[in-house]
Amino acid sequence: MRRLALRLGRRLLGGLVMIWLVSTFTFFIVHALPGDPVQVQYETLLARGVPPDQAQHQVSVMYGFVPHTSVWHQYGDYIFGLVHGDLGQSISYTGVGVGHIVLAAAPWTVVLVLTGIMASFLVGVSLGVLAAVRRSSRIGDLLSVSGSLLHGIPQFVLALLLLYIFSTQLAIMPYGAPYDASYSPGLNWPFMQSVISHAILPVAAYALSSYGGWLLTMKSSVISVLGDDFILAAELRGLRGITVMRYVARNAILPLFTILALSIGFMFGGSVFIESIFDYQGLGQMLLSSISARDYPLMAGAFLLITAAVIVANILAELVYTVIDPRVRRQA
Amino acid sequence: MSTTVDPVVAAVGRRTPKHHFWHGLRVVMLRRPSRIVGAGICALFAFLAVFGPHLYPANLPIDPTAIFQGPSSQHWLGTDFEGTDVLALLVTGTRYVLEAAAFASLFTVVIGTTVGLVAGYQRGLSDSSLMKVTDFVLTVPGFPLLIVLSTVWDFGAPASMGLVLGITGWGGLARAVRSQTLSLRERGFIEAARGLDLPAAHIVFRELLPNVAPYIAMSLLLTFTGFVYAEVGLFFLGVVPFTVNNWGVMLNLAVQNGALSATSALSYLLAPLVAILLLTLGVVLVLDAFDELFNPRLREG
Amino acid sequence: MVLLDHAAVSQDAAVRVRGLSVVYRTDVGERAAVRSVDLDLSPGQITGIVGESGSGKSTLALALLNAVPKPGRIAAGSIEVGDLGEITGLSGRRLRHLRGGEIGYVFQASQNSLNPLKTIGKQLLDLGRSHGVDDLRGMVRDAGELAGRMGLDGKRVLDSYQHELSGGMRQRVGIMFALVLNARVLVLDEPTTALDMLSQVAVLDIVREIHRERGLATVIITHDMGVVAEMADRIAVMYGGRLVEVGPAVEVLRDPRHPYTRALIRAIPRLVGDPEAASALPGRPPDLVTLPQQGCVFRERCPLALPICATLDPAMTHDGMRGVACHAADGTPSSSEDEDRNEPIQAGGEKTS
């Protein structure tokens, strides 16, 4: 148990280092932007007749650092603000903190992505077992083909097709926004219903785009485990078929956890497409709109939060893995 | 070719000797007709990439009287929102897409293979620090990163697009090459070579590289399609300035100009999507052949 | 008709194999991995089955559990096991009872015969549940005692995962799993391969003691003539899927009759004496495809090969407790009209049709 805590602590520390690296990266990106937006903002304010010291103050509130000082000084201010939970202020949403905006958008993205991953993981893995066991029959072929097919289609193509079929042509699914504005948010049924119906297509897009990968990986993993000595041994000891299958499934699922980490990053990255295609207001959409609005503090914040979500999800996935595999659990 | 089915012998399998590569390739390709189709598709796209832009005038004609038309004998895939022939757009747009993906693959191979080989060969400190960097590259979500980068980097030219995709996309290959190198090490490969006092460069490039090369080739094919998706996606999102026509620009303009709701524009909307899927199909089918060529074990069963 | 010298013993044989043939489907048609094998395994007796890899000894062992892997199948012959009777057609519940309930199979130590994700104890419970054991607590207690009997800390082993055990410990756990349901036949596949010398000695001692205590019918499958010499009461030598010599261990070792047996015994390295005297058999053992389809399977490596060996597969001839299948043994080529060789093949024809 102590080892587990130690391991978790190390992972969290690693995550913090990553967040630090990513925020440093965005800081320098904003700095390297053509035309130095900080300077431009400052000059715009001056042109509006704002006194220099006040303009400087406003700009520093927005970006989290003061123009006209050294890069390192600005960097220090920025990181200091970050540590205190201050992500600066949005330019396009005047006067609103970036932290406030991205934290409001984050749950929509996180819930959709995780629901999509979980749905596709469960379905893909179960069907992967079936595809492996029945690999020489028609149903096995069919499953494998469905997996390869969906695996080969890019996420945004799937999302566009779903949108085109169900929302534009058949018009049986709503489009845009996490829910209809006519309902008041809260724990009431019409609101929940609206949330769910708006989430179905995006979740389906996430799920369908990763289902094939799970199915194919699980299939090959099961086939490889079926060839392992201990499975033959279990059969030669007269274990029940269902017990042998459980041995197979649990062992076969392990290698999938290393892929889960990659998949999580990919899915959160995909939110840029899916939220843009379905006009769904989450982090991905926010990242995109911040760029067209030249709202760089918001861009940095959204990117940081997407990365943070990926890191947290990865740590969770690794925890599950650790619980399943005694070789990891009982060692370091 | 005779095969034994003694379980022991079958498990070891028979490797196709190197000088039999072309012969093996022929056998493997002919085993399933689908593989020839796949190779044909890939060849077609390669042809379009090289010669596509020469098949049409530099500025494609527009025709305001014939916008969003369905397929006809004159316009096989219909027309776009300006009345331009969709097939012409598709054909001339192939070069950018494939060129950028090829550049990206090149950068990925160079970075990914070097990192993977060095990490697997050296182990110890350089391994763990290289893998930390790799994990970092793998964890940072790629698309958002590309979008952020698009604010400071001009992706317009295929080479610069390829460079950015390559720099953000080598993590997976590095991991795969490293684990392959480690498994070669487990088979006593490196120790044997070291025992012969071979220089490190010789071991890495003459002994290890040829053994991981098939692996690199295969994962590269998949990465290639991944790069195609990524660049098309970036253009589709509109975060990259449109310098030349390509499939992503087509998709973006199609959606922007209301092709989703215009039924007659279906072929316009679908054309770039189908082109991507067709390319993927070709690559997957060729990959299937490679898989069998490099993993003879799959031939049984 | 089938005149078996050891008929007296075989009345109460735990396993009775008659005319067994196992074939594998290959690119060049079906080939026999095991051909026309007769063998009895009796309680209280350790039988050593010796042969090089590819001799069919492992296939024979798997056939005893009706577990010939695809694309192989039992093409002819019968295998009767204890109260279960004929087992070649078994499936479902009765087949599972055969495996584990009647015959305990122990894998070689280099093979991971345990689920890496579950403790030994939990896998033991799985075994008990699969075989409908009512008193699981009692079974676990028995297993602990059995483990203790083999020099293991029973309680600790049951709480361990496979990766926490050494090769020798895994081997003992394998024996525990094979015997905890009170199987009466114990099959050990290469029990000493991949073990260090001390563990080898320890495992063999344990097998001998448990065998004696429980009155088991034990089969040791090995390529190591030394192990057989040390352990077996009876030796069965296999080559190219054929049983080429059987007999009491002491007699076979002192006076081998088949040229292949002689070669195997000569190849045993000795600690004392002239190391030059230990010589390897020239040539390679046949695989399924290179196996001669006609005549004696051993003739290409045989120093005594006669013209008749190229055309006629020698039948097993019996002399007291001993049997040998060789034209050149004792000078008199045996007649080919031996029914006990032809019968099973006909039986096989009926089976497949």
Of A160, A261, A306, the CB nearest to B144: A306
Locate the chain A residue with the closest alpha carbon to B234: A273
Contacts of A237 in chain C (CB under 8 A): 99-100, 105, 127, 130, 177-178
Whether residue B85 contacts residue B60, with contact meaning beta carbons closer than 8 Å, is answered with yes
pLDDT at B5 over 60: no
Touching chains, A (3+ CB pairs < 8 A): B, C
CB-based contact, B11 to chain C, within 8 Å = no
- Can you give the pLDDT at residue C238? 93
Residue C218 has what DSSP assignment?
E
Q: Which residues of C touch B8 (CB under 8 A)?
A: 53-54
pLDDT band at C330 (very low <50, low <70, confident <90, very high): low
Instruction: Please give the Cα distance from A52 to A46 (Å, whole number).
Output: 6
- pLDDT range class, residue C335, cuts 50, 70, 90: very low
C107 at interface of A, judged by CB pairs closer than 8 A: yes
Q: Do residues B21 and B289 touch, judged by C-beta distance below 8 A?
A: no
Least confident of B226-240, C35-49, C119-133: B226-240
* Peptide bond before residue A178 is cis, with ω within 30 degrees of 0: no
The CA distances from residue C122 to A226, B186, C139, C175, C228, in Å, are 20, 32, 12, 17, 34
Query: What's residue C197's pLDDT?
Result: 83
Distance from CA of B198 to the nearest CA of A (A): 35
In angstroms, rounded to a whole number, what is the distance separating the alpha carbons of residues C86 and B265? Answer: 72
**Is the Cβ of C161 closer than 8 Å to some Cβ of chain A?**
yes
**pLDDT value at position C13?**
81
Q: Do C129 and A243 touch (CB under 8 A)?
A: yes
**Radius of gyration of the CA atoms of chain B, in A:** 23
Tell me: pLDDT of B136 over 60: yes
Where would I find the H helices in A64-97? Answer: 71-83
Sheet containing C46-50: give its strands across.
Answer: C103-106, C185-189, C217-222, C46-50, C234-239, C242-248, C322-324, C317-319
Query: Of A289, A297, A95, A112, which Cα lies nearest the Cα of A206?
Result: A112
**Structure tokens that stand for C85 in this block:** 């009777």
CB contact under 8 A, B4 and C289: yes
Determine, for residues B8 and C54 on separate chains, whether the beta-carbon distance falls below 8 Å.
yes
pLDDT at A122: 93
Residues of chain A below pLDDT 70: 1, 34-38, 63-69, 176-177, 181, 186-187, 330-332
The answer to whether B268 and B86 are in contact (CB under 8 A) is yes
Is A236 in the C-facing interface, judged by CB distances under 8 Å?
yes
> Is the Cβ of A224 closer than 8 Å to some Cβ of chain C?
no
pLDDT in tens, B48-64: 888 878 777 777 777 77
Q: What pLDDT sits at residue B111? A: 93
The answer to whether residue A233 neighbours chain C at the CB level (below 8 Å) is yes
Residue C138's contacts (CB-CB under 8 Å, 6 or more residues apart) are none
The pLDDT of residue C42 is 92
> Coil, strand or helix: which one is B38?
helix
Q: Is the dihedral of CA C289, C295, C298, C302 positive or negative?
A: negative
Enumerate the residues of chain C whose CB falls inside 8 A of the CB of residue A238: 95-101, 127, 130-131
Give the Cα separation of A229 and C163 in Å (integer).
15
Shortest distance, CA C27 to any CA of chain B (angstroms): 6
Is the CA virtual torsion A196, A201, A207, A208 positive or negative?
A: positive
| DSSP output for C256-291 | --SHHHHHHHHTS--SSS-GGG--PPSS----TTTS
b (16+ CB within 10 A) / e for C198-231: ebbebbbebbeebbeebebbbbbbbbbbebbbbb
| pLDDT for residue C278 | 57
Q: What is the pLDDT of residue A202?
A: 92
Give A228→chain C minimum CA distance, Å. Answer: 8
Tell me the pLDDT tens digit for each residue of C217-245: 999 999 888 889 899 999 999 998 899 99
Q: Which among A219, A328, A308 has a CA at the least distance from the CA of A264?
A: A308
Give the pLDDT confidence score for residue C276 in this predicted structure. Answer: 59
Is C331's pLDDT higher than 90? no
Q: In chain A, count H helices and then E strands.
A: 13, 0
Place of tokens 């190779």: B39
A251–C115 CB contact, under 8 Å: yes
Picking from B2, B5, B9, the nearest residue to C71 by CB comes out as B5
Quick one: pLDDT at residue A167? 80
Residue B82 CA to residue B62 CA, distance in Å, equals 6
Which structure tokens are listed for A192? 């929940």
- The count of C-alpha atoms lying within 13 angstroms of the C-alpha of B93, restricted to the half-sphere facing its C-beta, is 25
C237 beta partners: C50, C245
Whether the CB-CB separation of A120 and A206 falls below 8 Å is answered with yes
Structure tokens at B134: 């790799």
How many other CB atoms are there within 10 angstroms of residue C350's CB atom? 8
Burial class (CB in 10 A: 0-12, 13-18, 19+), B124: exposed
Find out whether A300 and A23 touch, Cβ atoms under 8 Å: yes
Give per-residue pLDDT as tens, C55-84.
Answer: 889 899 999 999 898 888 999 999 999 888
Q: How would residue C279 be classed by pLDDT, with cut points 50, 70 and 90? A: low
- Check: CB of residue C26 under 8 Å from CB of residue B4: yes
CA distance A183 to A180: 6
Whether the pLDDT of residue C340 is over 60: the answer is no
Mean pLDDT, residues C276-283: 64
C53 contacts in B (CB within 8 Å)?
8
The predicted structure's pLDDT at residue B7: 38
Q: Is the pLDDT of residue B203 over 50?
A: yes
Q: Tell me, what amino acid is at C302?
A: C
pLDDT for the residue B301: 33
- Are the beta carbons of A33 and B151 separated by less than 8 Å? yes
- pLDDT tens-digit readout, B11-22: 333 444 455 677
CA distance B7 to chain C (A): 8
Quick one: pLDDT at residue A118?
92
Helix or strand run (H / E) with residue A40: helix A37-47
Q: Is the ipTM of this complex over 0.90?
A: no
Confidence class of residue B192 from pLDDT cuts 50, 70 and 90?
A: confident
